[in-house]
Chains A and B, each alone.
Chain A
Amino acid sequence: MTRVYLFKPFERFWHWSQAVLIISMLVTGFEVHGSYTLLGFAQAVSYHTIAAWSLVGLWIFAIFWHLTTGEWRHYIPTTQNIVAIARYYSSGIFRDEPHPFRPSLNNKHNPLQRLTYLAVLTLLSPLLWVTGGLYLFYGNWTALGLGGLSLQWVATGHTLGAFLMLAFLISHLYLATTGHKLTSQLMAMVTGWEDLGHASK
């Protein structure tokens, strides 16, 4: 059995607290949107706002951590082996073939992950942040020189982001089961160590 240390304590803390915050924001956000009733509108708004500010705080630490440790390099996109990875997920995985990518402390994410996470971090998150921030500061639009903005468009952009995040979450949760064992990747994010099975390097 090959075990590899991938995720440092802060990284795991970042991942799980972000997971909790994003899931609670999806749950409360779609209630605010009017999709269902769960906590009550006022409570949902209140929790959504608290979670938003918590996530801002978390991101400040996370950005600082990524910059100072150089961990941001894990999100540099690459197309190397990307066809092999795609072929693995579309056929190899069903034939019990070994994963063409072997993660290591220097290269934690396969090319598809790199692309996806980079898109989430640089496209989807900013969309949600900007529209969410505008939502939060709706009362100051005129003072900020944004009087011409339409709440309709801000809200629509924010909702679009939420749907994309929901789709990401669903696929992310599923893909987490595609490690050596169903729980290998989950355990990696809990303990830091991923079990890569017996396959040779």
Chain B
Amino acid sequence: MRIHFIQTVLLAAILATTAAHGAADAAPDKLGKSTADHSKFKELNRTFDSGPEVTKACLSCHTEAAKQIHQTQHWKWEFINPDTKQVLGKKHIVNNFCTSVKTNEAACNSCHIGYGWKDDKFDFNSEENVDCLVCHDATGKYRKPSGFAGLPVTKDTEFPAGSGKIVRGINLTEIAQKVGPTKRTTCGACHFNGGGGDGVKHGDLDSSLEAPNKDLDVHMDVDGNNFSCATCHKTDVHQVPGSRYAPTAKDKNPAHLRGKDNKYNPATCQSCHGQAPHQQAKLNDHTNKLACQTCHIPAYARGGQPTKMWWDWSTAGKLDKDGKPYTEKDDDGYDSYMSIKGNFVWKENVQPEYVWFNGTVHYTLVGDKIEKTDKPTQINRFEGSATDGKSMIWPIKMFRGKQIYDPINKSLVITHLAGNDDTAFWKNLDWEKAVTMGMAKANTNFSGKFDFIETESAWPITHMVAPKEKAVACVECHTSNGRLEKIDGIYMPGRGSDHARWLEIIGWLAAALTLLGVAGHGLIRVIASQRNR
């Protein structure tokens, strides 16, 4: 009886403890972190036939949201560099991936945070065309398929018309009722797929960052810090800091509290870690010349997803024996040739190249004179030097390739690639028509002649920060022919090219002569002592 009683008490105690634990853990899950449950809002308890309808509902409470968005680079796709005055942004630049947005809006602008930007008549003052869901979707079900100018598809639709391929419609009500803060997957839906596919463009941004482990990204580690993009890219009035059009190359400010100080870029390493983050003083000595990324990102494309390193448009247009466009794959199953795009080289675990960088980037825009020489044309040029006092040594991905240009006007060109029309290159593989159309739409002179020119574009490497144990080891730079062999203007212990040659010769010669001298002296002593005996 007594034993039974003790057992009962014990059991009750265990149950009570478990229940208490359960309750403590379960409470936030059940309540959620937000103070608003959007599924309870009557504005959202309805059917939505289009994106703009959802936005109107959002704006009925979040009255100022669209006005904030209208001020952002995410919306305008335009950035005027305050130093160089160059008019940049996706809307204007030509890169060496899919080259340009202009005349390809319906395809490219599935990554615009708006609805319906299909040509140059898009209304940038429209509030209802702001796409709230693409950033705030919490279900992972939201899609903006390529070809629909950024609009989601709500009913099953055949696309392209007559192709027999069906784009499935999505349920906007469910998505609208579950909106939340941005996540790695929402930002990643576009930023992981820059250049037209997973990992293509940046090298340090790809789908492996949706749920990275510690080795891949010490901050985003799902079992550790579990940062979202916005933890560093701390957003204020919908302005996301950290654009690479005018990056902070050298942050000499102390660490500052998130949200407390709006003066400085919160996306830099220093904004949290300060200027002397290492316990070892010698390591802190490096922070005056090296971007943190240089040591702490030993390689990019480390998550299993390769990135494109080379894209040769000049080979595009070949047909198979049946006269049809075709695709070839490399050993890992990635496209190495596509009739519509040319040849690619993909790479994983790529060691960055290193440059002096002061934060100013110069772009080669349509109309800027370019010359075909042995040196590739620079799509963008990172300005910097050892002596300007503003530069740090930065890791970059240098993306190289060949692309079409106008050899008479000596200019990059706008190419009409995507579209279901006769002039689109991806439809008819006719360069002349595609460029003529692109240049006409851009209101720019085209000589009618085209050729291919080798180009390169630089991309700062700043994501995929490894844990400190995996940082670049000292000797990888402090050696001859190391990672920083090409960096000029500094003295690096261990790098042979920095040695004063006269001192090396005289020094070793002096040591050798001393050795020879004492050896000779000793030898004479030995011989003399035997003779004296």
Q: Interface code B235-266, partner A: CB below 8 Å = 1, 0 otherwise?
A: 00000000000000000000000000000000
Residues on B with C-beta less than 8 A from A57 are none
A40 with B475: CB separation less than 8 A: yes
Alpha-carbon distance A40/B508, docked complex (angstroms) = 22
Residues on B with C-beta less than 8 A from A139 are 281, 284-285, 288
Which B residues, 503 to 524, have Cβ-Cβ distances below 8 Å to chain A? 503, 506-508, 510-511, 514-515, 517-518, 521-522, 524
A174 and B522 in contact (CB under 8 A), knowing A34-B480, A139-B288, A151-B491?
A: yes
Chain A interface residue number, banded = 20 to 34
Main secondary structure of the interface of B (DSSP, over half): helix
Asked if A187 lies at the interface with its beta carbon under 8 angstroms from chain B, I say no
B503 with A32: CB separation less than 8 A: no
Of the 9-residue stretches A70-78, A89-97, A188-196, which lies at the interface with chain B?
Answer: A89-97
Alpha-carbon distance A183/B284, docked complex (angstroms) = 48
Within the complex, which residue of A94, A159, A174 is in contact with B500, where a contact is CB–CB below 8 Å? A159
Within the complex, which residue of B285, B474, B529 is in contact with A41, where a contact is CB–CB below 8 Å? B474
Asked if A171 lies at the interface with its beta carbon under 8 angstroms from chain B, I say yes
Residues on A with C-beta less than 8 A from B498 are 152, 155
A171 with B518: CB separation less than 8 A: yes
Asked if B60 lies at the interface with its beta carbon under 8 angstroms from chain A, I say no
Asked if B1 lies at the interface with its beta carbon under 8 angstroms from chain A, I say no
Q: Interface code A9-42, partner B: CB below 8 Å = 1, 0 otherwise?
A: 0000000000000000000000011100100111
Of the 9-residue stretches A100-108, A119-127, A162-170, which lies at the interface with chain B?
Answer: A162-170
Asked if A177 lies at the interface with its beta carbon under 8 angstroms from chain B, I say yes
A96 and B529 in contact (CB under 8 A), knowing A34-B479, A160-B507, A170-B515?
A: yes
Q: Nearest chain B CB to A35's CB is how many angstroms away?
A: 9
Question: Smallest CB-CB separation from B528: which chain A residue?
Answer: A94
Residues on B with C-beta less than 8 A from A45 are 282, 474
A170 with B518: CB separation less than 8 A: yes
Main secondary structure of the interface of A (DSSP, over half): helix
Asked if B11 lies at the interface with its beta carbon under 8 angstroms from chain A, I say no
Residues on B with C-beta less than 8 A from A95 are 528, 532
Asked if B24 lies at the interface with its beta carbon under 8 angstroms from chain A, I say no
Asked if B494 lies at the interface with its beta carbon under 8 angstroms from chain A, I say yes
Alpha-carbon distance A89/B529, docked complex (angstroms) = 14
Alpha-carbon distance A160/B491, docked complex (angstroms) = 16
Asked if A138 lies at the interface with its beta carbon under 8 angstroms from chain B, I say yes
B491 with A41: CB separation less than 8 A: no
Q: Nearest chain A CB to B421's CB is how many angstroms away?
A: 60
A152 with B474: CB separation less than 8 A: no
A159 with B511: CB separation less than 8 A: no
Q: Interface code B484-496, partner A: CB below 8 Å = 1, 0 otherwise?
A: 0000001101111
Question: Smallest CB-CB separation from A170: which chain B residue?
Answer: B514
Residues on A with C-beta less than 8 A from B494 are 32-34, 41
Q: Nearest chain B CB to A123's CB is how many angstroms away?
A: 16
Asked if A49 lies at the interface with its beta carbon under 8 angstroms from chain B, I say yes
A41 with B475: CB separation less than 8 A: yes
29 A-B contacts, Cβ less than 8 Å apart?
A: A32-B478, A33-B493, A34-B480, A34-B496, A34-B499, A37-B475, A41-B475, A42-B475, A45-B282, A45-B474, A89-B521, A93-B525, A94-B528, A95-B528, A95-B532, A96-B532, A138-B285, A139-B288, A152-B491, A155-B491, A159-B499, A159-B507, A163-B503, A167-B511, A170-B511, A170-B518, A174-B518, A174-B522, A175-B518
Residues on A facing B (Cβ under 8 Å): 32-34, 37, 40-42, 45, 49, 89, 93-96, 138-139, 150-152, 155-156, 159-160, 162-164, 166-167, 170-171, 173-175, 177
By Cβ-Cβ distance, the 6 closest A-B pairs, closest first, are: A163-B507, A174-B518, A41-B475, A139-B285, A94-B528, A34-B494
Residues on B facing A (Cβ under 8 Å): 281-282, 284-285, 288, 473-475, 478-480, 490-491, 493-496, 498-500, 503, 506-508, 510-511, 514-515, 517-518, 521-522, 524-525, 528-529, 532
